Amino acid sequence: MTSLYLDLKQAREALGLSLADIADTTLINIKFLGAIEEGRTEILPEAYIRAFIREYASAVGMDPTAAMKRFDQEHAGTAESPNVLHLPLVPDHKEDHHVSSSLADGSARFSPRTVTIAVGSVVLVAAIVLLWNVLGNQPAPSVKEIPFQSVVKEHETRLARPEPTPPRAPVVRTDSLTLSVATTDSVWIMVSVDSLPSHEYLFRPGARAAWRARERFVLTLGNAGAVQFTLNQKRLGTIGERGHVLRNVVFTRQSLTAPK
């Protein structure tokens, strides 16, 4: 049986479509589409892997629901059965000679200590098996899928607001930092300003945004080569290659004096 990724590629080729055609239809970066066909989903933004594959399947005429079922089946881990804990019976060392003699006579006898350890071992194994059965039968949490187009519209609405979503410092300081971005292609960015919680954004080509911070910015982004950075009016340019994912990139005041 062929993989879901190969079937997606064959369905596209059967329709005479190129990856660029699928990118125009789904608004998904062509590098990500190529990665899907090659099964290299690790380079995709983790939050949108399922949405990307669902949109791809719909664009080539496949049933999105059936495609996602195949995706789940192909990525389902093969959980191994827990090994049974075998605890040996430990006879009383003082009784070793006596036990050996008894076994030779066909009438084995164990000390009270040996019997206690044996009973305790059986009880421990039974408790482990019972706990495993209880935890293993709990239903897995359902995964909520968000259509890719809905994600795009959500971020477009956020960018259209008069004030940017990222929180600003309540007091403007002379040593404040301003980080600006301009995109040349679709880019996913997660930004943390100072010690505040991170926010995620999905920018379309030609988008612009800016954030303010007192000390630093920490970014994780996909398609790194498709976004230009400016820090306090100093052009930093791109910080990676197209289609590449960069994690935990830090911008501080030292970035202003660092060589390009």
> Does the residue 181 lie in any domain?
yes
What is the per-residue pLDDT across 20-52, written as a single tens digit (0 to 9) for each? 999 998 999 999 999 999 989 888 888 888 999
Q: Scanning the structure block, which residue is given the tokens 């994690």?
A: 247
Write the CATH number for 56: 1.10.260.40
Residue 14 sits at φ, ψ, to 5 deg, of -65, -30
> Does the residue 242 lie in any domain?
yes
> Does the residue 151 lie in any domain?
no
Domain identity same for 181 and 130: no
| Alpha carbon distance 226, 187 (integer Å) | 7
Domain identity same for 229 and 171: yes
Q: Report in angstroms the alpha-carbon separations of 224 from 29, 87, 92, 109, 229.
A: 12, 54, 67, 74, 10
Contact call for residues 34 and 12 (beta carbons, < 8 A)? no
Contact call for residues 227 and 183 (beta carbons, < 8 A)? yes
Domain identity same for 170 and 132: no
- Residue 178 confidence (pLDDT): 92
- Residue 255 confidence (pLDDT): 81
Domain identity same for 60 and 99: no
Number of domains in the chain: 3
pTM of the predicted model over 0.85: no
Contact call for residues 249 and 220 (beta carbons, < 8 A)? yes
> Does the residue 58 lie in any domain?
yes
> Does the residue 237 lie in any domain?
yes
Domain boundary among 75, 106, 126: 75
> Does the residue 157 lie in any domain?
no
> Does the residue 175 lie in any domain?
yes
Q: Which sign, positive or negative, has the C-alpha torsion 159, 165, 170, 174?
A: negative
Domain identity same for 71 and 116: no
> Does the residue 177 lie in any domain?
yes
| Strands, E assignment, the chain | 177-183, 187-193, 199-203, 208-213, 216-222, 227-231, 234-237, 246-252
Domain identity same for 68 and 97: no
Domain identity same for 197 and 124: no
Domain identity same for 66 and 102: no
Residues of the domain holding 54: 4-75
Domain identity same for 168 and 250: yes
What is the per-residue pLDDT across 98-122, written as a single tens digit (0 to 9) for each? 434 443 444 445 566 666 777 777 7
Domain identity same for 169 and 237: yes
Segments in the chain below pLDDT 70: 1, 77-115, 129, 132-175, 259-260
Domain identity same for 59 and 111: no
Domain identity same for 25 and 107: no
